[in-house]
Structure 1
Amino acid sequence: MTDEATHVDDEGLLEWANDEAALDLVEQAFSLAADEHGDEIRQRPARTLSAAEIAEALGLPMPTAQQQAVIEAPLRPAIVVAGAGSGKTETMANRVVWLLANGHVRVPEILGLTFTRKAAGELAGRIRTRIEQLVASRVTEVVFDPFEAPEVATYNAFANAIFRENALLIGREPESAVLSEASAWQLARRLVVTSTDERLVELDKGVDAVTSAVVAVSRALSENVADPTEVERMVEGFARIAELPTGNGRVKELYASVRSAVEAVGSLPPLLDLARAFADEKRRRGFVEYSDQVAFALAVCERMPEVVADYRRRFRVVLLDEYQDTSVVQTRLLSTLFAGRPVMAVGDPHQSIYGWRGASAANLGRFSSDFTGERRGDHGAADEYALSTSWRNPTRVLDAANVLVGPLTAASPVHVEQLQPRPGAVAGELTAVFEQTVADEADLVARWLGDRVRRLGPDGSPPSAAMLCRSLKKIDVFTGALDRHGIPYHVLGLGGLLEQPVIADLLSALRVMHDPTAGSELIRLLTGAKWRVGPKDIAALRDVASWLAERDHRHQKLDPELRERLRRSVAGEESASLVDALDFVVEAPAGHSRLDGFSPPGLERMRDAGRRLDHLRSRAGLDLLDLVTLVQQELLLDIEVAANETAQLGHASLDAFAEQVASYLAVDDQATLGSFLSWLAEAEQRDNLAPRSEDPEPGTVQILTIHGAKGLEWDVVAVPRLVDGELPGPPQSRKGWLSFGQLPNEFRGDSAELPVIAWRTAETQKDVHESIAAFEEENVARHLEEQRRLIYVAVTRAKERLLLSGSYWSTQTRPRGPGSYLLELQEAGLLPEDAFPDCDEPDENPLTLSAATVSWPLEPLGARRERVEAAAEAVRRARESGAGDGGVYARDLDLLLAERARREQEAGLVELPARIPASRFKDYVTDPAGVAASLRRPMPERPYRQTRLGTLFHQWVEDRFGTVAGAADVLDANAAELDDPASDLLEAERFEELKATFERSPWSGRSPEEVELELHITLAGQVIVCKLDAVYRAEDGRHDYQIVDWKTGKAPRDADDLERKQLQLALYRLAFARYAGVDPERIDAVFYFVADDRVIRPERLYAEEELMSLWSSATGFIPPERR
């Protein structure tokens, strides 16, 4: 059936009336229309309801003119440019309601896509709520099926569904497991380590650098649908520019820029071969990455027109959220599927900050040609709409955002209207300061945040707050200031964990054990509280390292020429090693001349440190988790944390780090210390750039990167280090694709918008050199645009108050003034003329001067030393005088003290962790003594197979409900470990059995309201972490919701066992009741023991008062100040 046959006017029908074949054609057309849209045709209301009428009926605010235009937009391709905080989610939900109320579309024919599961959940929840309100209002005659829901998913989940349903059509395995970042990196690293390609040696790069390049090249090929063979041909041609004449009589040799470019591009062939091997290995083991899912889905759609036709029939309206963050392959997939259909893309080019992962702001500009075939402004091009009212920012903050983003508007790929304040918007607070030193800046930021965080709102709750940083690498000075002022803070993500002092010490020890060049880490350990080695002895150790660097293994002097080459070398492994020097100090005989520079106490401390580290190094063959635990105990870090009354996050940090180790071992339980440390560095970098999903914590300052803040908002926001050279700052590299491991721009899907090097038309090396210079300048300009988008995102996160700060001096040798963003705000009149004082010390860094007089090493006891020493002296005098011996009450006192000690030991007097998982609540209330013992000396457990199987099943269920249809199995390389031991076959079989059982369960065909929902509740002053597996709408008529907890282990043995297990469900019910604002009695909760295919519903669940009573009884002996 052709489109022409389904669009015939009345006159045409009369002309066809005597043509039997034509009548049959018309009948088929209407039959097809009835099949596809019969309910819609039958339920079309008598008149079209306006967006305003629907809003009034639902009790919603009246839409603005812009919102109404979007809501009532015709069913054709359209783009909506929605500024920060402009209410796009609400507008998209209201458009869905308008379409449904007027019978334009049925509920299952709506597809909504966004980037994160959190965003997808928010959009789905908003749409669901509006549909429920629409049904209740009776404003429309259209009847809705209560069991139907629109499809809302992430872009990757949608692509994965297409791939899984049709994988066999392209020769792929539909049950392919999804590799996580850690798994993919590990698999690639193993290929690099085992490679025999001699070209890798010529690259002169470390294993980790090559691994990262292989993963990056592999993903770039997938995301841009590029052919590696074509890339290799391009590399061959590019290499010939080195053969061109110089074009300059004064230059006889190869231009340095040309040589560097040829070397960088010439490194691609071995990387491309490894990328092929990586793809082959993934295919052989049945793995895919997220980027593969989209590329494979595109392959399906391009080869199978019937798949495209099916999706076009299924979804008549498509909503694409955050369109500026889509990659080339994602937009190509979507346009292949839905070109010409009513697709509405919502985005903001000014918030395109994820270019590092393939996103391109130019996607918005190409939307019309991608989905209509017409360029912007041409007849038939996509409609364009705008949402430019900020419902988030106060006027002063909004003015600042508009000034900062102004230079981007002229070059935007689509027209962007300036954000306007909402009706009745308050002025808010915009403060900018520029201090002398970073220490002064950190202190001011801490005081500013503390003052505002402590102000309670009208409802009596504190505001939410955040400090948004360009990078988390050097935030110690800011977290230290927050600590000094007693302001609660939380560094989000893995980077925050690694910045904790106890974890920094632990990691330093691990790196010293593994890497002889880890000199900085060794100095941290030696000068820390345990060994307290002074500067003189550190200098002596450095001298020993320099002495050893000029000698061989027998301590004989090296050849003078070799010594000179080593001096000029910049390779870390060829430099003087402090770790080797410490080993020498341990082994050197007394009286050795190289030990003369050490003080006697310093030498003894050095030797003690060296012996301990050597002992730990000898145990490096231990299981990784056992090794980490051993290091923690040998360095007494657990005891130090317990004794440090100011280290509130110490125990929690150690637990969280153990979880990171366990999660890494779940990928490969044969992992080595070196591979773990490498992965940790990679994971930290990715984690800092990824968007965060944590909710704001009122009363606590959340610290995160600006990249991570996208999509979030806080009442109070501080953005530090707006300093020239930092924010905005120079790019890490100007070279673009002329860097190691980069795909050339010409193979990128957005190559038309990227800088070009005219190497193919160059006649001389000089031509190439000049083209490269212009190319690098364009890269710098693009980087500055990205920086401007970054500050725009940061500023627009503030709902009430915003602080922008900087300082002249940090660690550099020359002062750096206010960054250009601060100066622009000052020039616009938003900041006073005297906002930034002159630099007091323009010639010398005052931090260097103060550092010259600081006490080092730091005093472990701090200000308490005088009191501690006085108390120790009093005890010493008492012992010497014998005053404590004898006395009529001595025996009674001894007995009383012994009894108190026994009671405390029996009661298990320990410091409780800051957060307790609900799954362990039963242990605290039924076996407090056992828990106390484990807290005194925590022993992390390695992840056994049953535990990994449970984790695997939960991941599978979470991903299953996160997709549109038939979600992927997220194996994360657990069910078939990279070493592929035979014992894994049994685990894989059990996993398949669990999946099959679940598919037969009552929940397989139902759509959950929430999946893997993490909630924190406070119970009797203790934070309990509840992670709910799934929450459904109840169907029994007596409850509103049903919580289901999946269990892969055995069902309870008896009533007592069930009684203990129900405590977890009771906590889940209480947490969700608070979260959803419903009566706990309206919430049902059950266990589903999948292995036994058995549903167990406790006869009763404890109420909040009973849970508090249990907790108080178990922990009541612990004074509040020690909890």
Structure 2
Amino acid sequence: MANALSTPLRAAGARVPELRSALTVRDPIPHRSPGGAAGGTVHCAMLPTYADEADWIADSVLAAWRGAAGMPGAAPEHIPVDRRPTTAVLVRVRSQIPAIESALRERGLPVEVVGLGGLLDTPEVRDVVCTLRVLADPTDGAALLRLLTGARWRIGPRDLVALHRRARAIANARRQVAADEAAEISPDLLDEATLVEALADLGPAQAYSAEGFARLRAYGRELALLRYRLDQALPDLIADIERTIGLDVEVAVRAGRDGAGDAGLARGHLDALGDVAARFSGETPGATLSGFLSYLAAAEDEERGLAPGEVEVVEGAVQVVTAHAAKGLEWDVVAVAGLSRGLWPGPVRNSDHWLGGLGVLPFPLRGDADGLPELALDEAGDQRAVARAVTDFTDAWRAHDEREERRLTYVAVTRPRRLLLCSGYWWGEGTKRPRGPSVFLREVYDACLDGGPGHLIDAWAPEPTPDATNPTAEVVLRAEWPADPLGGRRPALAEAAGLVRRLMADGPAAALPGPVGPVLAGPVGPVLAGPVTPIGSTAEPVEPAEPEVDPEVARWQREADLLLAERAELTRLSGAVEVALPGALSVTQLVALRRDPAALARTLRRPVPAEPNPYARRGTAFHAWLEQRFGADRLLDLDELPGAADADAAPDEALVELQERFLASEWADRSPVEVEVPFATVIAGVVVRGRMDAVFARPGGRFDVVDWKTGAQPTGPAADVAAVQLAVYRLAWAELAGVPVDRVGAAFHYVRHGVTVRPADLLDVTGLTAMIAQLPEDSAQH
């Protein structure tokens, strides 16, 4: 089928390989089509509306998941992640995404919308961004209302009206004061009645419901605490918001025992937002919160103007991604959506070429000019010849655009390994005329009609009559407000909560046998972190809340008790709590992985602030002195502050002595080629980030990477563990400099002792990969 789609490309001279029969599907997914028939390897469908297409895609994906796992009728969250086929839905334009995402989520399928615009649409990121907006602009009522009426606070209409009345009362009182004292106050300030002000001063409790007043008061206190932290760096502020509004815990408890669900995706979304904030802060001089919010607004409105991030295949979720971003990737199951006229291929616009669009670079100035239409004016001797040349150029542009659309379609249909779904629809959202199948869907239909092995036509809706109207225009949208955060899951969760309550009534959670610590799940297998004492696992029953306790706080306490009891029961049943190895690690964390996987697992599962270290400040000061000496002026990552890992660094009064000892060392008179070099490298599928202190050149095109240590020199096994840091530095510099790794040496210089240590047999990329992929057996059980 892909060969049929690409035949016109080869006829036009494009270098598109013809796929051999050896590349056909060898491992088809045993599943059923949405209509109940036995599934094949290529399915196509033409549906009446865009909503019907979204439902067909979601039903087909769910059937494929169940078939691949051999679990007919299973809910998606009950299918183990390692038995779910990797899945993607490819779209032509982002306007297709909402309906498809909604249909997938309605069936319980975890979804990741790829791209910054998609990131901003995820619920957890939206909550953080709305909180940022409220902190930056107290008059942003839309953001505040979303938070107040959202799943966390669920403030109802009556309490919202009371809050608005309170805001108006505050504004009226301000006007009265201005009139009585003849004060000159800005009219804008007098007229503004912000809900944020009302949250800070709610007025009489009788104006609200009892529960609503308690929630509003709690949220007002929360906002006040966050305002005190507005002077922080953007990544730190975002992390504080996550902790304050409970998102860090929320995304953690959303995972099932086997990692099912989309909690990992949610955590990844929050981490991605933090990365965006860090990049914005690092690349924007004088970065501010308001500037960052403007940047996010531009990303949401004009995402095509932003550089797309790298797309990676994610296991255990359905990725919704544009076809342009899917190049070079493969999934087990791929749905190509929206193969309808006017959508895929899209309309040809003259504004896309340089004669019709003022913002388009002239083709002769582009690096790919050889593959673009040429405006031949050299032999045009009069206006008529010029007009013919322009017409020929426009026709050539139209043919070029059609070829590019066909290339994109070829890319899309060659992404799946096991199952391809192609679909279109007649009626789009808000369209007055039916679209119908595009030329590409027609070609897929013809291939399926010819009866190829595994090629099936699931549905093919007839063309609407000439007087037909768009049926989606007659659909009345309905929604519950305030929305139930549990939705259709409420009955099951209510039953589970009842079981937990009965368990608590039978005996304290601490009496459950066999608590063990968290498990660090690497790419190959888990590593037990060893016994720990669970929080709240005392032999004493939980005391009931005192009557004077705030109702909201009492509710939190009850929920915490239920979560602790549930965790204890899961621990008893599973024998271990699994902690997923994150997709990105700092060099410090990688060293900790080699030193003690158990400790790293506990840290990843329950991060706590590091104990204040008076020595780290001295190490930082020494590194800053070296930067000035070497003429460097670089920004530092928070988790890579120089000296932060020197647990035995020198006391504060020893800075001068450290400087003198360095000046007496072999490195004092040498000039580095680079200092404070940030890097990110991929080892065993994990992104490792860090910062090298200094790189020195040696004769023969060789280099030395040196890490300054202000602490004591380790010995024995501790020295071997520390050498992991140098192994990563050596590999990273070899990649950055484009030289073989054997041309890069690495050393620790212990400044206080004047000793340079060059560990022998540093791990190469194979050794580092093995360290991550196959964690040491002797640390598997403690």
* Alignment TM-score, normalising by the size of structure 1: 0.41
CA distance in 2, matches of 1:528, 1:450: 31
Q: 1:434·1:441 contact (CA, 8 Å) conserved in 2?
A: no
Q: 1:372-387 to 2 correspondence within 5 Å?
A: none
**Per-residue deviation, 1:531:** 0.5
**Distance in 1 between residues matched to 2:344 and 2:145, nearest whole Å:** 31
Matched with 2:134 is: 512
Counterpart position of 2:596: 926
* SS of equivalent residue, structure 2 residue 321: strand
Structure having the larger proportion of residues in helix: 1
CA-to-partner distance for each residue in 1:34-66, whole Å, 9 max, x for gaps? Answer: xxxxxxxxxxxxxxxxxxxxxxxxxxxxxxxxx
Query: Which amino acid is the alignment partner of residue 5 of structure 2?
Result: A
Matching residue within 501, 506, 513 for 2:123: 501
Structure 1: gaps spanning 5 or more residues: 1-395, 557-572, 763-771, 885-889, 954-970, 976-989, 1002-1010, 1018-1023, 1031-1042, 1072-1081, 1118-1123
Aligned to 1:803, the other structure's residue is in SS state strand
Counterpart CA distance in 2 for 1:444 and 1:905 is: 42
Please give the alpha-carbon distance, in whole angstroms, between the structure 1 residues aligned to 2:88 and 2:633.
32
Which of 530, 533, 543 in structure 2 is aligned with 1:903?
533
Task: Select which of 1054, 1077, 1083 maps to 2:714.
Answer: 1054
Alpha-carbon deviations, 1:239-268, whole Å to 9, x = none? xxxxxxxxxxxxxxxxxxxxxxxxxxxxxx
CA contact (8 A) 1:721 1:805 kept: yes
Letter in 1 for 2:606: R
Change (3 A) 1:644 1:418: closer
Q: For residue 721 of structure 1, what is the aligned residue in structure 2? A: 338
SS of the counterpart of 1:1053? coil
- Give the Å deviation of 1:1064: 5.9
Q: 2:472 aligned with 1:845, yes or no?
A: yes
Q: Give the equivalent residue in structure 2 for 1:580.
A: 194
1:356-435 equivalent positions in 2, closer than 5 A: 396-402=1-7, 415-416=13-14, 420-422=18-20, 426=24, 429-435=41-47
CA-to-aligned-CA distance 1:616-666 (integer Å, 9 cap, x gap): 346433332332222112211112223323413344443443343333333
Give the counterpart of 2:485 among 858, 869, 873: 858
Find out whether 1:917 has 2:561 as its counterpart: no
1:802 aligns with 2:417: no
SS at match of 2:194: helix
Q: 1:1091 to 1:625 in 2, by over 3 A?
A: farther
* Equivalences for residues 273-672 of structure 1 within 5 A: 396-402=1-7, 415-416=13-14, 420-422=18-20, 426=24, 429-435=41-47, 436=49, 437=51, 439-447=54-62, 450=65, 466-471=88-93, 475=97, 478=100, 492=114, 494=116, 497-515=119-137, 521-534=143-156, 554=175, 580-581=194-195, 583-584=197-198, 587=201, 589-590=203-204, 601-602=211-212, 605-606=215-216, 608-610=218-220, 612-613=222-223, 615-617=225-227, 619-645=229-255, 646=261, 647-667=263-283, 670-672=286-288
For 1:719 and 1:496, locate their aligned partners in 2 and report how far apart those are by CA, in whole Å: 18
Secondary structure of the structure 2 residue equivalent to 1:903: coil
AA aligned to 1:1015 is I
Structure 1 partner of 2:548: none
Amino acid at match of 1:791: T
Decide whether aligned partners of structure 1 residues 1016 and 834 sit closer, same or farther in structure 2, where only a CA change above 3 A counts: closer
* 1:65 alignment counterpart: none
Confirm whether residue 825 of structure 1 aligns to residue 439 of structure 2. Answer: no
Deviations along 1:470-499, one digit per CA (max 9) or x if unpaired, are 345764665566667787776555456545
- Alignment CA distance shift 1:1053-1:649 (3 Å): farther
The 3 A distance-change label for structure 1 pair 555 and 995 is farther
The alignment partner of 1:825 has SS state of helix
Shift of 1:440: 0.9
Q: What 5-or-longer segments of structure 2 have no aligned partner?
A: 27-40, 71-81, 178-187, 256-260, 384-389, 450-455, 518-529, 538-570, 627-631, 637-662, 693-701, 733-740
| Residue 1097 of structure 1: aligned partner | 759
Shift of the 425–731 alpha-carbon distance from structure 1 to 2, 3 Å rule, reads closer
Distance 1:784 1:947 in 2: 59
- What is the CA distance between 1:505 and its match in structure 2? 1.9
Kindly state the Cα deviation for residue 892 of structure 1 after the two structures are TM-superposed: 11
Q: Is the 8 A contact 2:68 2:84 kept in 1?
A: yes
Q: Is the CA contact 1:917–1:1026 (under 8 Å) kept in the aligned structure 2?
A: yes
1:82-114 Cα shifts (integer Å, max 9, x gaps)? xxxxxxxxxxxxxxxxxxxxxxxxxxxxxxxxx
8 Å CA contact retained: 1:1029, 1:1045: no
CA contact (8 A) 2:116 2:308 kept: no
CA distance in 2, matches of 1:717, 1:1048: 47
Kept in 2: contact 1:667–1:974 (CA 8 A):
no
Whichever residue aligns with residue 450 of structure 1, its letter is W
Structure 1 distance, partners of 2:622, 2:376, is: 49
Change (3 A) 1:891 1:733: closer
Counterpart in the other structure of 1:31: none
| Distance apart, 1:446 and its partner CA | 2.2
| Cα distance in 2 between the residues matched to 1:717 and 1:1013 | 29
> What secondary structure is seen at the aligned counterpart in 1 of 2:412?
helix
Q: How big is each residue's C-alpha offset from its partner over 1:153-196, in whole Å with a ceiling of 9 and x where there is no partner?
A: xxxxxxxxxxxxxxxxxxxxxxxxxxxxxxxxxxxxxxxxxxxx
> What is residue 67 of structure 1 aligned with on the other side?
none
Answer whether contact 2:341 2:436 (CA < 8 A) is retained: yes
Deviations 1:357-412 (A, max 9, x none): xxxxxxxxxxxxxxxxxxxxxxxxxxxxxxxxxxxxxxx12213446x69xx77xx
- Structure with larger Rg: 1
SS at match of 2:359: coil
911 and 479 in structure 1: CA distance in 2 versus 1, 3 angstrom threshold: farther
User: Does the alignment pair 1:836 with 2:504?
Assistant: no
Name the residue aligned to 1:790.
408
Aligned length: 591
Separation in structure 2 between the aligned mates of residue 778 and residue 623 of structure 1, nearest angstrom:
52
* Structure 1: distance between partners of 2:61 and 2:153: 32
The change in CA–CA distance for 1:857 and 1:748 in structure 2 (over 3 A counts) is farther
Gap change, CA 1:814 and 1:585, over 3 Å in 2 = farther
**Residues 1:705 and 2:322 are matched in the alignment:** yes
CA distance in 2, matches of 1:1109, 1:837: 53
Amino acid at match of 2:91: C
User: In structure 2, what residue type is equivalent to 1:870?
Assistant: G
Determine if contact 1:494/1:687 at 8 Å carries over to the other structure: no
What letter is aligned with 1:1061? A
1:870 to 498, 507, 529: 498
Contact 2:149 2:482 in 1 (8 A): no
- 1:821 to partner: Cα distance: 4.0
- Write out aligned runs for 1:888-899 (5 A): none
Amino acid of the residue matched to residue 447 of structure 1?
L
The letter of the residue matching 1:922 is V
Deviation at 1:517, TM superposition (A): 7.2
**Is the Cα–Cα contact under 8 Å of residues 512 and 518 in structure 1 kept in the other structure?**
yes
CA contact (8 A) 2:747 2:758 kept: yes
CA distance in 2: counterparts of 1:754 and 1:1015, whole angstroms: 49
Cα pair distance change 1:652/1:894, threshold 3 Å:
closer
